[in-house]
């Protein structure tokens, strides 16, 4: 964990005064985004003793607290949650048979998030009148909503990027018309943006762009040892001050052997590195046919697994009933002792940290990628939408700590049971899989050192705190 030890003395004195600097976190209401900013808030509270306000709709503040407390309730104890009345929005169920994987059912929620501009401005006005400096750290997709930060003379804002530096660099190149500098061979393999998002989502993002330049800098949930090249390239294409302070994870993971969670109890009985963990995040919904193919592929592979089989989140997870996801008849009985199917929220960081976990079949959301990298678990990459295809490319082609389940240019095709069976065996029970696992474990050690005293991420976080408390 980071501490005061690397800060200059005069900045340390500022920190110990009566909270002259206040940090306000403004997350985007989607679980992966909510979680990353919450973990940053926990890290700052625990390591620097600065007051941190987590400002969001009452519904989504409740959501993130419940799920964080499933890991470690003490993490959130020091955070000041400021609940804004949740704007009215439709909360339709996920569309499991849609032609696009992009979570269009969440668009009413995201449009409603723009209605929080006025209450957030009111909160900032209040808190800026009582503080020497207010630091707003916000998701890029909340840029429209926090635009009024520029009207307060003692406030400044920083964008917290919940995507990889590689993805951000690619997007900036496309936006500016500059070439993507990753080498000719890699460029040929780079997944296209076709099918990654709907036109409605593109329009929502376009509304944020005019307000992104208000920021004073960028914070990245990555490390120089993971993405140093792309952080350097971002600096070259015009990024303002930036700090790579990741991976940002729960400050304490429970000791797995003492946990009562059903997944961890089951993992405690398995051999080291023998279990494939399967989870596709909170915005992915499979069709009945896809569930059947995945189930058959896992069964035929004869490999041990934990499968988190749950519907994608609604905009409001506290309303409506989730669709009942059907498995092949007798499946759970046939795989008993080999596989475990979990239909509820699962403690993913703890599962990945467990010594029995040897692989992760993932949609490649950045939160999942960064957790897997930190735990040294190789990825069977199965991207679904958004930034995920290029995260999968980063993991498999650039970092070489995973293998692709299905190439992105075939993303509209059904992945067969035989394909799944082959990729699972290849990752979990082959020399190639062992080589990938070894590289993942080597990267884990390098990344962990970067978060310790004297490591690049630790220095970057100390630098950011020193900058905002100047």
Omega cis (within 30) before 247: yes
The strand pair at 133-138 and 379-381 is best described as: unpaired
Query: In Å, how far are 303, 342, 356, 359, 389 from 306, measured between CA atoms?
Result: 10, 7, 11, 10, 23
Tens-place pLDDT, residues 44-99: 998 898 999 999 999 999 999 999 876 667 778 889 999 999 999 999 999 888 87
The CA distances from residue 178 to 174, 387, 397, 402, in Å, are 6, 19, 22, 29
Q: Select which of 60, 75, 138, 139 is catalytic.
A: 139
Question: Going edge to edge, which strands form the sheet with 379-381?
Answer: 339-342, 304-308, 275-279, 357-362, 379-381, 402-404
Q: Confidence band (pLDDT; 50, 70, 90) for 2?
A: very low
Active site residue 220: no
Taking the CA atoms of the chain, what radius of gyration do you get in angstroms? 22
Torsion of CA 135, 136, 137, 140, to 10 degrees: -150
The CATH number of the domain covering residues in 257-447: 3.40.50.2000
Nearest to 32 by CA among 191, 175, 168, 162: 162
3-class DSSP state of 91: coil
Quickly count helices (H) and strands (E) in the chain: 18, 13
* Whether residue 361 has pLDDT greater than 90: yes
Domain spanning 9-250+452-468 has what CATH number? Answer: 3.40.50.2000
**33, 138, 354, 385: the active-site residue:** 33
Distances 123 to 20, 30, 39, 363 between C-alpha atoms, Å: 17, 22, 22, 36
Percentage above 70 pLDDT, the chain: 93
pLDDT of the residue at 120: 98
**Nearest CA-CA partner of 415 in 369, 380, 373, 390:** 380
Residue-wise pLDDT tens digits, 254-296 = 444 445 789 999 999 999 999 999 999 999 999 999 999 999 9
| Dist. CA 223–CA 202, nearest whole Å | 28
Residues 6 or more apart from 1 whose CB is under 8 A from it? 43, 46, 47, 251
What CA–CA distance (Å, rounded) separates 85 from 92?
20
pLDDT of residue 259: 59
Which residues of the chain form CATH 3.40.50.2000? 9-250+452-468, 257-447
- pTM greater than the 0.75 cutoff: yes
> Per this entry, what is the length of the chain?
470
Residue 316 bears catalytic tag: no
pLDDT of 355? 97
What is the distance between the alpha carbons of residues 52 and 42, in angstroms, rounded to a whole number?
9
**Confidence check: pLDDT of 173 > 80:** yes
């Amino acid at each position: 964990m980071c501490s005061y030890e690397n800060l200059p003395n005069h900045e340390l004195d500022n920190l110990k005064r009566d909270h002259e600097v206040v940090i306000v976190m403004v997350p985007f209401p989607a679980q992966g985004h909510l979680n990353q900013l919450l973990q940053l808030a926990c890290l700052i509270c625990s390591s620097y003793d600065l007051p941190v306000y987590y400002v969001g709709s009452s519904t989504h503040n409740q959501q993130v607290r419940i799920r964080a407390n499933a890991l470690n309730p003490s993490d959130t104890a020091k955070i000041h949650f400021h609940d804004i009345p949740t704007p009215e929005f439709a909360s339709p169920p996920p569309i499991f048979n849609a032609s696009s994987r992009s979570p269009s059912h969440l668009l009413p929620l995201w449009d409603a998030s723009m209605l929080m501009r006025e209450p957030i401005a009111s909160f900032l006005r209040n808190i800026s009148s009582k503080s020497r400096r207010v630091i707003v750290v916000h998701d890029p997709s909340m840029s429209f909503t926090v635009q009024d930060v520029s009207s307060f003379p003692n406030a400044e804002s920083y964008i917290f990027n919940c995507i990889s530096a590689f993805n951000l660099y690619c997007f900036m190149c496309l936006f500016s018309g500059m070439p993507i500098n990753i080498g000719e061979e890699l460029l040929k393999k780079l997944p296209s943006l076709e099918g990654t998002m709907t036109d409605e989502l593109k329009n929502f993002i376009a509304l944020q762009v005019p307000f992104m330049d208000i920021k004073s800098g960028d914070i990245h949930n990555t490390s120089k040892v993971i993405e140093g090249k792309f952080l350097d390239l971002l600096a070259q294409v015009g990024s303002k001050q930036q700090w790579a302070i990741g991976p940002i994870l729960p400050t304490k993971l429970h000791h797995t052997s003492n946990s009562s969670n059903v997944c961890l109890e089951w993992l405690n009985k398995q051999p080291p590195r023998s279990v494939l963990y399967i989870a596709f995040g909170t915005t992915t919904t499979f069709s009945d046919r896809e569930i059947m193919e995945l189930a058959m592929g896992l069964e035929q592979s004869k490999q041990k697994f934990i499968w988190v089989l749950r519907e994608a989140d609604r905009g409001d997870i506290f309303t409506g009933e989730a669709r009942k996801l059907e498995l092949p008849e007798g499946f759970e009985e046939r795989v008993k002792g080999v596989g475990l199917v979990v239909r509820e929220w699962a403690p993913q960081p703890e599962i990945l940290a467990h010594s029995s976990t040897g692989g992760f079949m993932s949609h490649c959301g950045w939160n999942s990628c960064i957790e897997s990298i930190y735990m040294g678990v190789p990825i069977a990459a199965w991207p679904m939408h958004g930034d995920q295809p290029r995260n999968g490319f980063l993991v498999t082609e650039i970092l070489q700590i995973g293998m692709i389940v299905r190439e992105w240019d075939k993303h509209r095709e059904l992945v067969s049971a035989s394909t799944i069976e082959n990729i699972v065996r290849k990752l979990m029970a082959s020399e190639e899989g062992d080589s990938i696992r070894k590289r993942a474990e080597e990267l884990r050690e390098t990344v962990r050192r970067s978060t310790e005293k004297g490591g690049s991420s630790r220095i970057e976080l100390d630098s950011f705190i020193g900058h905002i408390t100047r």
